């Protein structure tokens, strides 16, 4: 793997969602803590795309916000180019790091200021970091609009004058304004039509090749992930259950949850392969099951799965956290 640009070690993020103290005393209820991210380890090499996939509520977006410093870890480390983001004390100290990492959000309309012209939106990072001004700033904005396949004249318009795909292009242009090295894309195509999704994904791949970008790509859509990823991490209830090269995971998934997710991809070749839909609901992250969190939905679970939480262990070119895989029961 290339030299790591981002590394997570024992990363944990909990959220206290308890009722007020007096309510808990009167109702005799304990504190309620959401275990959004419950101890994960991964690395992202320079110039690669690492994707996190899983159902809604598995903790993907929390990892994205931890990766750009919007959240601080409850425990563990999240290091960007050797700097632990949790130890950066002030906004002033964080500013040079923020210039090197940016985020593309899911909703391209909600993430754009509707009262600003597109030119002002794209120029905001350049002004914040005091990189350019005057004619040089205007020239840079025109260059960014052209880079994302828009016209420089579009800079005079407002976000509501564009389609969803064009708005996402504007979001990408804003993210690229300060010449970052690392982009976190949190479901960047889920709000778009299928045909537009392909255009945005191809644009992101072209930009990665031309600018040497590194991506953390968040998605629940495995078909999208297979198109853009070098490596994939599959998350379930705050933990990684399988990590490996994208080609290997799509060719020979080891974890039952990964297999069930792959069965949700439409079979365009009509192979008539037997498919087993994902059954049940994701358990509450406030009160996760004992042992393996997936065991209530797993057709291969046994008594060990119900009492002992599996660790992520190397298995060929990937790593998997599954007792059934470890014991050869799959």
Domains of the chain: 4-326 (3.40.50.300)
Return d(Cα 87, Cα 89) in angstroms, integer: 6
Task: With beta carbons less than 8 A apart as the criterion, state whether 52 and 261 touch.
Answer: no
> Is a pLDDT exceeding 90 seen at residue 275?
no
Q: Are 108 and 163 in contact (CB under 8 A)?
A: no
Instruction: Report d(CA 61, CA 300) in Å as an integer.
Output: 29
Give the pLDDT band (50/70/90) at residue 243. very high
User: pTM for the full model?
Assistant: 0.89
Question: Looking at residue 292, what is its pLDDT?
Answer: 92
Q: What is the dihedral of CA 198, 111, 221, 169, to 10 degrees?
A: 10
Report the range of poorest mean pLDDT among 51-60, 88-97, 114-123, 201-210.
Answer: 88-97
Backbone dihedral angles phi then psi of residue 242, each to the nearest 5 degrees: -155, 135
State the average pLDDT over residues 245-255: 90
Burial of 298 (0-12, 13-18, 19+ CB in 10 A): buried
CA distance 80 to 5: 6
E strands, 101-204, are 101-104, 182-186
pLDDT, greater one: 147 or 191: 147
CA distances from 253 to 10, 58, 316 (A): 24, 19, 11
Residue 93, phi then psi, degrees to nearest 5:
-70, -30
Residues in the chain: 330
Give the per-residue pLDDT at 196.
Answer: 87
**What mean pLDDT do residues 275-302 have?**
81
The average pLDDT across 166-195 equals: 90
């Amino acid at each position: 793997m290339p030299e790591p640009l981002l590394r997570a070690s024992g990363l944990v993020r909990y959220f206290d969602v308890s009722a007020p103290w007096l309510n808990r005393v009167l109702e005799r209820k304990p504190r309620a803590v959401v275990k959004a991210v419950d101890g994960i380890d991964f690395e992202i090499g320079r110039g690669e795309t690492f994707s996190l996939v899983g159902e809604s509520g598995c903790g993907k977006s929390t990892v994205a916000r931890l990766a750009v410093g919007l959240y601080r870890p409850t425990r563990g480390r999240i290091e960007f180019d050797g700097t632990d983001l949790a130890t950066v004390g002030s906004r002033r100290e964080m500013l040079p790091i923020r210039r090197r990492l940016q985020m593309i959000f899911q909703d391209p309309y909600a993430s754009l200021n509707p009262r600003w012209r597109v030119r002002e939106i794209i120029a905001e990072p350049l002004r914040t970091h005091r990189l350019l001004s005057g004619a040089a700033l205007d020239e840079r904005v025109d260059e960014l609009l052209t880079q994302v396949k828009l016209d420089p004249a579009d800079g005079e318009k407002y976000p509501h004058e564009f389609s969803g795909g064009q708005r996402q292009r504007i979001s990408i242009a804003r993210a690229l304004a300060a010449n970052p090295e690392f982009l976190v894309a949190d479901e960047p195509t889920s709000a778009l039509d299928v045909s537009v999704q392909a255009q945005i994904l191809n644009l992101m791949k072209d930009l990665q090749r031309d600018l040497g970008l590194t991506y953390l790509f968040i998605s629940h859509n495995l078909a999208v992930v297979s198109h853009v990823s070098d490596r994939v991490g599959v998350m379930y209830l705050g933990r990684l259950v399988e990590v490996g090269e994208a080609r290997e995971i799509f060719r020979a998934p080891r974890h039952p949850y990964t297999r069930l997710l792959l069965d949700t991809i439409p079979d365009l070749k009509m192979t008539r392969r037997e498919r087993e839909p994902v059954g049940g609901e994701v358990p509450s992250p406030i009160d996760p099951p004992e042992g393996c969190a997936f065991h209530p939905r797993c057709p291969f679970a046994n008594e060990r799965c119900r009492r002992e939480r599996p660790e992520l262990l190397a298995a060929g070119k990937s790593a998997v956290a599954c007792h059934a895989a470890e014991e050869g029961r799959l």
